[in-house]
Structure 1
Amino acid sequence: MNFCSHCGDAVDLAVPVGDDRARRVCSGCGAIHYENPRVVVGCVIEEGGKLLLCRRAIEPMVGRWTVPAGFLELEESLTQGAARETWEEACARVRVAAPLASFDLLHIGQVYTLFRASLAEPGFAAGPESLEVRLFEPEAIPWDELAFPVIDFALRLYLQDRASGRPNLHLGHLRWNGEGSRFRAANYELGDHRRVGLDPDGT
């Protein structure tokens, strides 16, 4: 932001009185413009032992695979947003069962919250933001073609939980090491990883 949305004057970085960090402050009317993390919501959908993935039709990472996910809208809950994104990207109605992961991505100002889900009714298809949608056996997941590191971490934790028979809510901070591509999972580590055990049915 370079200009105030209230009066149009230029904004400067300054620490407001009583604050502890620099904010964008209007040089004219004094309005303080706060910037807060954006929330991304989505679903890891299992059906018949397979996981549903979408191949992206838009940038970034067009042509790569991901779970249906996107930015939370105003006036919707986390689960509502996750279900809406799934409909928009995979034309699928889902039953959101339980939380899977909440990851902080501080380097890009995002919080990812992903849910365990299943199809509420048969059928799925590519939405406007997807080239195709497919169900993958776990051993066939295209790990080297996933769009975002956060999806790589979430899917691996989901499969670990499934193998152990102990579902968890995973919390942590996904840290980029500052080297190489920000889209390569190997350049990240999951810090402050905590597992909160869920009931066997995932609730």
Structure 2
Amino acid sequence: MKFCSECAHPVALAIPEGDNRPRYVCPHCNTIHYQNPKMVIGSIPVWEQDGKVQVLLCRRAIEPRYGYWTLPAGFMENEETTGQAAVRETEEEAGANVELGKLFTLLNVAHVHQVHMFYLARLLDLDFEPGIESLEAKLFTEAEIPWDELAFPTIRTTLELFFADRIKLREGGSYGFHSRDINRPMLAPREPD
């Protein structure tokens, strides 16, 4: 940050009085500019029929990770709840109609200043299509998921936890709530074909 969004004067990095970490502070109007983690919200859209469970994934049409697979997710907007963000992102990226379930994963990705949350979701129909930020939207069983082509560690973690909980469901258990810290970076992008 170089300039104050309140008065347009240059800002300085300083520890404000009563604080314990450096912040961008405007010496002209004394505004403290806090920078906080971004919230990435998404869903795990599930289609279950005749005992077969499939998850809807989208292949990214944008950077970062163009061409890699992801759950529908994106940055939360102001004036919406996390649940509203999950439904909106699912509609925008996969054109999918879902009934939102409970919050399933909360993943802290501190090294990129983000928190990722994924809700369980039930697809209401098979009328989906890729949105502007997706190349494709496709259903996958656990065995079909392109594990080496997943865009982010948070997606892999969420899917692994989802399928582990599916085993618990067969044994009379239920879906849990999972909170993790993700400290590993993304894999290097593959070479173009």
Q: Which residue in the other structure is 1:179 paired with?
A: none
Residues 118-142 of structure 1, C-alpha deviations (whole Å, 9 max, x = no match)? 1123311011110011000111100
The 5-angstrom pairing of residues 76-91 of structure 1 reads: 76-91=80-95
For residue 30 of structure 2, what is the aligned residue in structure 1? 30
Deviation at 1:62, TM superposition (A): 0.6
Equivalence for 1:170: 178
1: CA distance, partners of 2:79 / 2:164: 34
What's 1:133 paired with? 137
- Pick one of 100, 105, 108 that aligns with 2:104: 100
Letter in 1 for 2:11: V
Deviation at 1:46, TM superposition (A): 1.2
Counterpart of 1:199 in structure 2 is none
Which deviates more from structure 2 when the two are superposed, residues 28-37 or residues 149-158? 28-37
| 1:149 counterpart residue number | 153
Alignment-derived partner of residue 193 in structure 1:
none
Task: Give the whole-Å Cα distance in 1 for the aligned partners of 2:20 and 2:125.
Answer: 50
Match of 2:14?
Answer: 14
Inter-partner Cα distance in structure 2 for 1:97 and 1:25: 42
Please list the CA deviations of residues 155-191 of structure 1 after superposition, one character each: whole Å capped at 9, or x if unmatched. 0000000112131000121113xxxxx2129xxxxxx
> Number of paired residues?
180
User: Which ranges of structure 1 fall in alignment gaps of 5 or more residues?
Assistant: 177-181, 186-203
Q: Of Structure 1 and Structure 2, which has the larger fraction of its residues in strand?
A: 1
CA distance in 1, matches of 2:98, 2:36: 29
Q: 4+ residue stretches of structure 1 with deviation over 6 A?
A: none
What is the alpha-carbon root mean square deviation over aligned residues? 1.2
- Structure-2-length-normalised TM-score: 0.90
Which amino acid counterpart does residue 94 of structure 1 have in structure 2?
Answer: V
Q: What is the CA distance between 1:80 and its match in structure 2?
A: 0.6
Which position in structure 2 is the counterpart of 1:196? Answer: none
Distance (Å, rounded) in 2 between the aligned partners of 1:138 and 1:117: 16
Partner of 1:183: 186
TM-score, normalised with respect to structure 1: 0.86
Letter matched to residue 163 of structure 1: I
Query: Which whole-Å deviations, capped at 9, do the CAs of 1:140-159 have from their partners, x for residues lacking one?
Result: 10010001111000100000
- 1:68 deviation in Å? 0.2
Instruction: State the 1:27 CA deviation.
Output: 2.5
